[in-house]
Structure 1
């Protein structure tokens, strides 16, 4: 079998295998899996291979593997099985895990692959939305409510109850009161947006209608809330006078491959509402809205350049 596929596609195949084995795998998810399979032959190769790896694991004589496969459904089992599958794929295909380390996301309780979003109802009645390529752990017990953002972005609709709700990012812990909050992990800081309620770090509050970077030591660069920050929950990218290069960077979060623009058009400004479900349509709209042309070298390598006169 041809086992040449990228680490990113391997991640997606592992995700879909875990999802397909879950009790909550419904007709909507089956259709999503089928669309993913039909999108590219690389997906089909990765899917076939990950199924073979899964079968081989069942024949491995190992107490750890046996305990993982036989354990009842739970977040811990999901994380362990993802790790086993990843190791099996890497050993069989020679994927470069040093150059691309998907373990933090793969081992999370909940994950959304590139281009997909998820909504989860938590046991306390709160709602957790996962943006594209995001991963989070959820730990609720008698004393606490804890959400760990491993990567990406979440939006939380938090209900009020005696247990505090904390969100842990790479920079530390946030304490959230009842309300709506968007939290995005960047490299070196988190961006927190408070639509309602109040967030705090080490006793420092961030009130509704504001957003700020959260880094070691507390809040930084507190600013008025961008009201469009949560538009992704409704499947939209809403921008106002955004630089084209920044717009493409945001759009690229929802698709695979390279999406960039030349320096000549990088500072062009764009406004409007754009559907995240169809990035190809959005790229076509760019040629109408701006003096640019979209060059598609392959479906995964796209560059936006100045339109010819």
Structure 2
């Protein structure tokens, strides 16, 4: 929890693993397969880095299907019921696990998500999608409970919002290196207070009435 790790693979591929992520590597003579068990990764192929292209296909496999790299840099996030993909350079080909013929070519600057049988229409990559690769958490009029759920991926224990303030919205760019500092700034931008029983149990509550 809270850890990010960079890996350099033998074929020249560079990986960045986000917090709470797990990955299996299955490289063989016919293909290179990265099995994303949980969490989120950014993949930069050797070709995208200016190196020689490996003739074996490079695929990222998730619970919902697979993403084939086409000399590219992209991110993949495994959610409970779908996979999110954002292409930063070149393109990828997405294939659903159960949808016969359900494939889509996703170009640079586009993001989408897919289930076992369908792929959503693409949209433009937003800054929030890749903020984690720069060690940042970005909010754009985001609900407080959703913001805390995302922040909770980067610190141990329970982090929750009282229902009375869960729907408050906030915007900003927050450095992930100090999650306690992020929490301490919330009362300055929202009418809330942060109650800490311990580092492992934090609740955001309505601010106490003034005198």
TM-score under structure 1 normalisation? 0.61
Match of 1:197, SS state, is: strand
Of 9, 18, 23, which aligns to 1:136?
A: 23
1:247 equivalent in alignment to 2:153: no
CA distance in 2, matches of 1:233, 1:194: 13
Write the mapping of 1:223-238 to structure 2, written as runs, cut at 5 A. Answer: 223-238=123-138
The aligned residue for residue 216 of structure 1 is: 116
Q: Which runs of 5+ in 1 are unaligned?
A: 1-113
Cα distance in 1 for residues equivalent to 2:68 and 2:194: 44
User: Secondary structure of 2:119's match?
Assistant: strand
Distance in 2 separating the partners of 1:178 and 1:299: 43
CA shift digits 1:81-117 (9 cap, x unpaired): xxxxxxxxxxxxxxxxxxxxxxxxxxxxxxxxx1101
* Aligned partner of residue 151 in structure 2, secondary structure: helix
SS in 1 for 2:60: strand
Instruction: Give the helix-richer structure, 1 or 2.
Output: 1
Q: For residue 230 of structure 1, give the secondary structure of its aligned residue in structure 2.
A: helix
Does the 8 Å contact 1:295/1:305 carry over to 2?
A: yes
- SS state at 1:256 partner: coil
Whether the aligned pair in 2 keeps the contact of 1:135 and 1:150 (CA below 8 Å) is yes
Say which structure, 1 or 2, has more relative contact order (CA 8 Å, 6+ apart): 2
| Shift, 1:272, TM fit | 1.3
- Cα distance in 1 for partners of 2:186, 2:205 equals 11
For the Cα contact (< 8 Å) 1:201–1:218, is it kept in 2?
Answer: no
**Other-structure match for 1:120:** 7
Give the Cα separation in 2 of the matches to 1:224 and 1:269.
Answer: 22
State the shift of 1:256 in Å. Answer: 1.1
Partners in 2 of 1:158 and 1:265 — Cα distance?
43
Poorly superposed stretches of 4+, deviation over 4 Å: none
3-state SS of 2:142 partner: strand
CA change 1:281–1:211 in 2 (3 A) is same
Within the candidate set 154, 171, 179, 2:64 is matched to 171
Where structure 2 has 5 or more consecutive residues not aligned to the other structure, the ranges are 48-52, 96-102
CA contact (8 A) 2:90 2:108 kept: yes
Aligned to 1:104: none
Residue of structure 2 equivalent to 1:153: 40
Q: TM-score, length-normalised on structure 2?
A: 0.87
Count of matched residue pairs: 196
Displacement of 1:217: 2.0
| 1:243 Cα offset (Å) | 1.1
CA–CA separation in structure 1 for the residues paired with 2:94 and 2:128: 24
Deviation (angstroms), 1:232? 1.4
Which of the pair is proportionally richer in strand? Answer: 2
Deviation at 1:221, TM superposition (A): 4.6
> Alpha-carbon deviation of 1:248?
0.3
Could you say what the CA RMSD is over the residues aligned between the two structures, in angstroms?
Answer: 1.4
